[in-house]
Amino acid sequence: MQLKLSRFLPLIILSLGSLIACKKNVDVPAPTSAITPAAAPVAVTVDPNKIKDSVLLYSKDIYLWNNQIPSTFDARSFADPIAIMMAIRQYSIEPGFSAPVDRWSFAMKKTEWDNLSGGLGSTFAGTKAANGDFGLTVFFFSQGDLRVKSVEKESPAGRAGIRRSWRVTKINGNSNIETSNATFIVDAVYESTQTSFTFLKPDGTSVDISLTAAHYKEHPVHLDTVYSTNSKKVGYLVFNSFLGDTVEINNEFNRVFNNFASQNVSDIVIDLRYNGGGYVSVQKKLANYLITSSANNSLMMKEQYNDKNSAYNSSTFFRKTGSLNLNRIFFIVTNSTASASELLINNLKPFMDVKLIGPTNTHGKPVGFFPIPVGEWYIFPVSFKTTNKNGEGSYFSGFPVNSKANDGINKDWGDITESSLASAIKFISGGAFRTQGEETYQELLPEVKRSNLILDAPFFKGIVETKKQLK
- Local structure of 76: helix, strand or coil: helix
Mind listing the pLDDT tens digit for each residue in 113-128? 877 776 555 454 444 4
Residues 289, 199 share a domain: no
> Which CATH number is 178's domain given?
2.30.42.10
Q: Which of 191, 212, 233 is the last residue of a domain?
A: 212
Mind listing the pLDDT tens digit for each residue in 316-325? 999 999 999 9
Poorest-pLDDT segment among 86-95, 357-366, 432-441: 432-441
Residues 274, 423 share a domain: yes
Angle subtended at Cα 338 by Cα 332 and Cα 339, rounded to the nearest 5 degrees: 130
204: containing domain: 133-212
In the predicted structure, residue 255 carries a pLDDT above the cut 90: yes
Q: Which of 212, 237, 256 is the last residue of a domain?
A: 212
Mean pLDDT on 385-397: 95
453 belongs to a structural domain: no
33 belongs to a structural domain: yes
The predicted model scores a pTM of 0.85
Residues 395, 247 share a domain: yes
Contact 241, 300 (CB under 8 A): no
pLDDT of residue 119: 57
pLDDT of residue 20: 26
377 belongs to a structural domain: no
Mind listing the pLDDT tens digit for each residue in 79-96? 999 999 999 999 999 999
Residues 433, 299 share a domain: yes
Q: Which of 91, 125, 159 is the last residue of a domain?
A: 125
More confident site: 161 or 14: 161
Residues 329, 182 share a domain: no
Residues 422, 282 share a domain: yes
Residues 263, 331 share a domain: yes
pLDDT of residue 29: 33
Residues 417, 288 share a domain: yes
In the predicted structure, residue 346 carries a pLDDT above the cut 80: yes
pLDDT of residue 468: 32
471 belongs to a structural domain: no
Residues 345, 421 share a domain: yes
Q: With bands split at pLDDT 50, 70 and 90, how would you rate the model's confidence at 131?
A: confident
375 belongs to a structural domain: no
Q: Say how far apart CA 14 and CA 278 lie, in whole Å.
A: 8
First to last CA, the chain: 19
Q: With bands split at pLDDT 50, 70 and 90, how would you rate the model's confidence at 8?
A: very low
373 belongs to a structural domain: no
pLDDT of residue 426: 94
Q: At what angle do helices 48-62 and 81-88 cross, to 10 degrees?
A: 30
**What percentage of residues in the chain have a pLDDT greater than 90?**
70
Please tell me which of 114-123, 144-153, 430-439 the model is most confident about, judged by mean pLDDT: 144-153
- Enumerate residues 6+ apart whose C-beta is below 8 A from 355: 328, 329, 330, 331, 402, 403, 424, 427
Q: With bands split at pLDDT 50, 70 and 90, how would you rate the model's confidence at 374?
A: very high
- Enumerate residues 6+ apart whose C-beta is below 8 A from 80: 48, 52, 107
**What percentage of residues in the chain have a pLDDT greater than 70?**
83
Mind listing the pLDDT tens digit for each residue in 103-116? 999 999 998 887 77
pLDDT of residue 28: 33
Mind listing the pLDDT tens digit for each residue in 33-70? 334 444 444 445 679 999 999 999 999 999 999 999 99
Q: Say how far apart CA 191 and CA 391 lie, in whole Å.
A: 42
> Which CATH number is 278's domain given?
3.90.226.10
Residues 203, 266 share a domain: no
What mean pLDDT is reported for the chain? 85
In the predicted structure, residue 194 carries a pLDDT above the cut 90: yes
Domain count across the chain: 3
In the predicted structure, residue 9 carries a pLDDT above the cut 50: no
Mean pLDDT on 305-316: 94
279 belongs to a structural domain: yes
Residue 195: closest CA among 212, 216, 215, 178:
212
Q: With bands split at pLDDT 50, 70 and 90, how would you rate the model's confidence at 201?
A: very high
Instruction: Work out the number of other CB atoms within 10 angstroms of the CB of residue 149.
Output: 22
pLDDT of residue 244: 84
Contact 1, 79 (CB under 8 A): no
Q: Say how far apart CA 147 and CA 139 lie, in whole Å.
A: 6
- Enumerate residues 6+ apart whose C-beta is below 8 A from 16: 280, 301, 303, 339, 340, 342, 343, 346, 365, 366, 367, 368, 384, 385, 386, 393, 463
More confident site: 128 or 130: 130
In the predicted structure, residue 159 carries a pLDDT above the cut 80: yes
Give the sheet arrangement for strand 299-305, strand by strand. 314-317, 299-305, 384-387, 367-368
Tell how far CA 3 is from the center of its chain: 29
Mean pLDDT on 192-200: 97
Residues 178, 105 share a domain: no
230 belongs to a structural domain: yes
Residues 229, 116 share a domain: no
